[in-house]
Amino acid sequence: MFDGSLASPHGRCKAWIDSLFVDHAIFRLPWTNLATVVPGKVYRCNHPTPARLARLAKRLGLHTLVNLRGHRRCGSDALSRNAAEQIGLAHVDMAFESRGAPHRDRILRFASLYRSIEMPMLMHCKSGADRAGLASALVILFEGGTAAQALKQLHWRFGHFNRSRTGILDAFILRYQNQAEGRISFLYWVEHEYDEAQLKQDFVAGKLASFLTDQVLRRE
């Protein structure tokens, strides 16, 4: 856990050590699952290093960085906040979780933020797989896309496994598809009909896939 300052070389070194070896950024150095969600407007990826963020900001013309992990006491968080400030990006915290039924209030808050955020924006979680997948699926639905299109954002090519506990995110989109798509809007369904407790009760995760994501890959 990093809870220091980047003001000194020693503090910055501690942040990098925490980011690379505690937050597993060492695995994100050679690999990023950067993808376009809405062309020219919304992009997704795993937690970017400061250098990668600077390159992406220039390449994509970014104005906003959305942190789907929420404010965390870790080196990766401190470094990316500092990098966003140096580059001139607005930094927005919008925390989601990856193993529980999506919370109604967070979805509605994200919808409100989405209407006010200066685009283009880049969204990231830790691995760019589950929370980034959920947020990207929500963006597709905010933009009037279908549940089938939204589900493509929750895919193994990003590192998402729907047989594990994170599959509850897929189940959420499928529940909207089965209960309301074509009848009412997505946000109306979320606000008035979505039953978070029932979804949590109904969903059953696969044990092997959950072991892989939780214990081997050590996802948040």
pLDDT at 2: 79
Domains of the chain as residue ranges with CATH:
32-216 (3.90.190.10)
SS3 of residue 96 by DSSP: coil
Kindly state the average pLDDT of the residues 148-163.
93
- Under the banding of pLDDT at 50, 70 and 90, the label for residue 4 is confident
- The number of beta carbons lying within 10 Å of the beta carbon of residue 211 is 12
pLDDT at 116: 97
The token duo for 42 is 């919304």
Kindly state the average pLDDT of the residues 3-7.
83
Count of alpha carbons within 13 angstroms of residue 85, beta-carbon side? 7
pTM summary value: 0.91
- Under the banding of pLDDT at 50, 70 and 90, the label for residue 205 is confident
User: DSSP letters of 170-217?
Assistant: HHHHHHHHHHTTTTS-HHHHHHHT--HHHHHHH----HHHHHIIIIIS
pLDDT at 5: 86
- The number of beta carbons lying within 10 Å of the beta carbon of residue 78 is 23
Kindly state the average pLDDT of the residues 204-211.
55
pLDDT at 130: 96
- The number of beta carbons lying within 10 Å of the beta carbon of residue 52 is 18
Model confidence pLDDT, tens digit, residues 83-131: 999 999 999 999 999 889 999 999 999 999 999 999 999 999 999 999 9
The token duo for 136 is 């990207």
The Cα 218–Cα 214 span in angstroms is: 5
- Under the banding of pLDDT at 50, 70 and 90, the label for residue 215 is very low
Tell me what percent of the residues of the chain surpass a pLDDT of 70. 93
Residue 141: name the closest of 95, 194, 192, 187 by CA: 187
The Cα 4–Cα 12 span in angstroms is: 9
User: DSSP letters of 1-17?
Assistant: -----SSSHHHHHHHHH
pLDDT at residue 211 is higher than 50: no
The Cα 97–Cα 103 span in angstroms is: 9
Model confidence pLDDT, tens digit, residues 171-191: 999 999 999 999 999 999 999
Model confidence pLDDT, tens digit, residues 62-85: 999 999 999 999 999 999 999 999
For the chain, what is the radius of gyration of the CA atoms? 17
The Cα 1–Cα 5 span in angstroms is: 13
Whether the CB-CB separation of 119 and 64 falls below 8 Å is answered with yes
pLDDT at residue 208 is higher than 60: no
- Under the banding of pLDDT at 50, 70 and 90, the label for residue 161 is confident
The Cα 219–Cα 166 span in angstroms is: 10
